[in-house]
Chain A
Amino acid sequence: MKATIKQDLLLPFIATFAVMTISLLVGQSFPDEASPRMESNFSMAVPRTVEELTQRSITRDYGYAWESLDRALSSNSPGLLDAYFSGPAKTGLASAIASQEKTGIRSHYLKQSHKLEAVFYSPEGDVMELRDTAQYDLELVADGRTIQDEHAVLRYVVLMTPAADRWVIRQLQAVPRF
């Protein structure tokens, strides 16, 4: 009788503990394999020297921007662009998503790595131009069929501007060469 009561008390306790542990593990931020690998160099920026805190912000926010770009283009959700894109970059990507939706295409930017180099930082600190040598596995899926699967190495010219609490991409333009 005593053992039964103990079991009755113990089981819900174990179950609750298990549920709490799992929910904590789910919420915990493990290093994300999908996060872009980032390298950056700000020593070439002119005319203003890039402050260390700004260097960290740019590297972090540019990585987040590409993560959200991948999520937005793979799920055709333009709302995911809001946090890290503005101006022509946001308009262009939103337009890309709208036409992807029409044609049944989804784009996946997998295993990203970015090599960022700042080339211009305005005297007042209100705009920065960067070059990015990006590598990723580009997978295009149309109507459930993979129509393109390649390892791409692309060069981008990027304009970033400061927003309230982060840097956002205003211009993202692939170029054949720097």
Chain B
Amino acid sequence: MWSLINTVLPGSRAFQARFLLLGLALCVRQASLAQTAAPRPPDAVVAGTDFSISTTGSGKATFYLVGPSHSSKQQIERGQDMHINGDEAASAGRYLAILCSDTCQSASFYVTPDDRASLAFLAHPSRVPVREANAISGVVFSFDKFHNLVLTPLAVTFTLTADGRDLASRSVPTKDGVAWLRIRSGDAAGTIQLVASIGGLNVRRVVRQVASDPCNLRIKAQRTVRGIVVETEPVRDCSGNAVPDGTIVTFTKMDGAGKSTVDAPIKQGIARTQMMALPGAVISAASGVVMGNPIRLSE
């Protein structure tokens, strides 16, 4: 019974010859497959460095290297190692090494960024009022010398300096290649620098801090032959910074003739105007949301 369900090979010579031929064909096919084996790139390649891709087998073949910003083609002898120059793999990303003869075989590999070599530093705004929360922002991207974004975490130090003095400093690690911060503006008007540093790399951006809104607006009036001259005391913000020239101060006069207003720009820290007013008139001043002290003219 057992012998019945086992395959019985015919013993003829013709069948044996055919069996041998089949075996030979299989061997030839295996050998052919070995010839078209895929190239073997290294596991890790850093952008801009030389490396080799090995091939196996024998005979002529065409080798292609296809990357994000470069592709090349050359005729090679199988079995030799392909030397790839660093400048052929300067862009980080996925590369394909393709070996073609009768058929094509390929292998992919990644080129990773080199060490950081430059910082792209965005700082905003270029002019900012003093004493404002989260008013200054800085964003840093780190790139290697081939403009590949460096994605490994790095510590970025942001420093706010004025006249060579450090006002504030904060260390922020990069995440996904970017580090950012928001920082309060300082108290004093003037030029400050926001510096971003990674290792020995420093990039600075200049931010101009300007006075904030006027604070404690005070006015005085003086009679002249041509009317009343009204002027402010030097206009300053709440930190004592002189409010920039050109800021408008609105003078308002109310008397028996009605209400009239005059807009006067600040010049050299003081806003001044001349108005006609009846005795008993009330004159006040305002700039932005700040009101000055009202003055009543004597009867």
| Chain A interface (Cβ < 8 Å from any Cβ of B) | 47, 88, 91-93, 95-96, 99-100, 103-105, 107, 119-120, 122-124, 126-127, 129, 131, 140, 142, 145-148, 150, 154, 157, 159, 171-176
Interface SS of chain A: strand
A154: B residues at CB distance < 8 A: 94
Q: In the complex, are the beta carbons of B137 and A174 less than 8 A apart?
A: no
A174 touching B73 in the complex, CB below 8 Å, given contacts A105-B64, A120-B176:
no
User: Which of A140, A157, A176 touches B98 (beta carbons < 8 Å)?
Assistant: A140
- Is residue B180 within 8 Å, beta carbon to beta carbon, of the partner chain? yes
B66: A residues at CB distance < 8 A: 105, 107, 140, 148
A105: B residues at CB distance < 8 A: 64, 66, 71, 73
Q: In the complex, are the beta carbons of B151 and A92 less than 8 A apart?
A: no
- Is residue B161 within 8 Å, beta carbon to beta carbon, of the partner chain? no
- Is residue B30 within 8 Å, beta carbon to beta carbon, of the partner chain? no
Which single residue of chain B is at the shortest CB-CB distance from A125? B124
8 additional contacts (CB under 8 A) given A122-B139, A159-B141: A88-B147, A92-B91, A103-B71, A129-B176, A140-B66, A147-B106, A174-B92, A175-B151
A159 touching B69 in the complex, CB below 8 Å, given contacts A122-B122, A148-B98, A174-B110:
no
Q: In the complex, are the beta carbons of B69 and A96 less than 8 A apart?
A: yes
Q: In the complex, are the beta carbons of A99 and B70 less than 8 A apart?
A: yes
B163-216 at interface with A (beta carbon < 8 Å): 175-178, 180, 182
- Is residue B96 within 8 Å, beta carbon to beta carbon, of the partner chain? yes
Which single residue of chain B is at the shortest CB-CB distance from A119? B176
Q: In the complex, are the beta carbons of A92 and B68 less than 8 A apart?
A: yes
A103 touching B72 in the complex, CB below 8 Å, given contacts A147-B98, A176-B110:
yes
- Is residue B269 within 8 Å, beta carbon to beta carbon, of the partner chain? no
- Is residue B41 within 8 Å, beta carbon to beta carbon, of the partner chain? no
Q: How large is the interface on B (under 10, 10 to 19, 20 to 34, 35 or more residues)?
A: 35 or more
Q: In the complex, are the beta carbons of B92 and A127 less than 8 A apart?
A: no
A124 to B139, CA, bound (A): 10
A126 touching B70 in the complex, CB below 8 Å, given contacts A105-B64, A174-B94:
no
Interface string of B114-130 (1 = CB under 8 A from A): 00000000101100000
A150: B residues at CB distance < 8 A: 106
Jot down 6 A-B pairs with beta carbons below 8 A, ordered by A. A92-B68, A96-B70, A96-B71, A123-B139, A124-B124, A127-B139
| Chain B interface (Cβ < 8 Å from any Cβ of A) | 62, 64, 66-73, 91-94, 96, 98, 100, 104, 106, 110, 122, 124-125, 137, 139, 141, 147-149, 151, 175-178, 180, 182
* Minimum C-beta distance from A111 to chain B (A): 18
A120 to B73, CA, bound (A): 39
Q: In the complex, are the beta carbons of A174 and B124 less than 8 A apart?
A: no
Q: In the complex, are the beta carbons of A173 and B93 less than 8 A apart?
A: yes
A123 to B148, CA, bound (A): 23
B92: A residues at CB distance < 8 A: 173-175
A118 to B67, CA, bound (A): 25
B110: A residues at CB distance < 8 A: 174-176
Q: In the complex, are the beta carbons of A93 and B151 less than 8 A apart?
A: no
A157 touching B176 in the complex, CB below 8 Å, given contacts A122-B139, A176-B110:
yes
A93: B residues at CB distance < 8 A: 68-69
A100 to B65, CA, bound (A): 10
* Minimum C-beta distance from A32 to chain B (A): 26
Q: In the complex, are the beta carbons of A173 and B149 less than 8 A apart?
A: yes
Q: In the complex, are the beta carbons of A159 and B149 less than 8 A apart?
A: yes
Q: In the complex, are the beta carbons of A142 and B73 less than 8 A apart?
A: yes
A-B interface, 8 closest residue pairs, ranked by CB to CB distance from nearest: A92-B69, A123-B137, A174-B93, A88-B147, A103-B73, A174-B94, A95-B69, A124-B124
B139: A residues at CB distance < 8 A: 122-123, 127
A96 touching B67 in the complex, CB below 8 Å, given contacts A140-B98, A147-B98:
yes
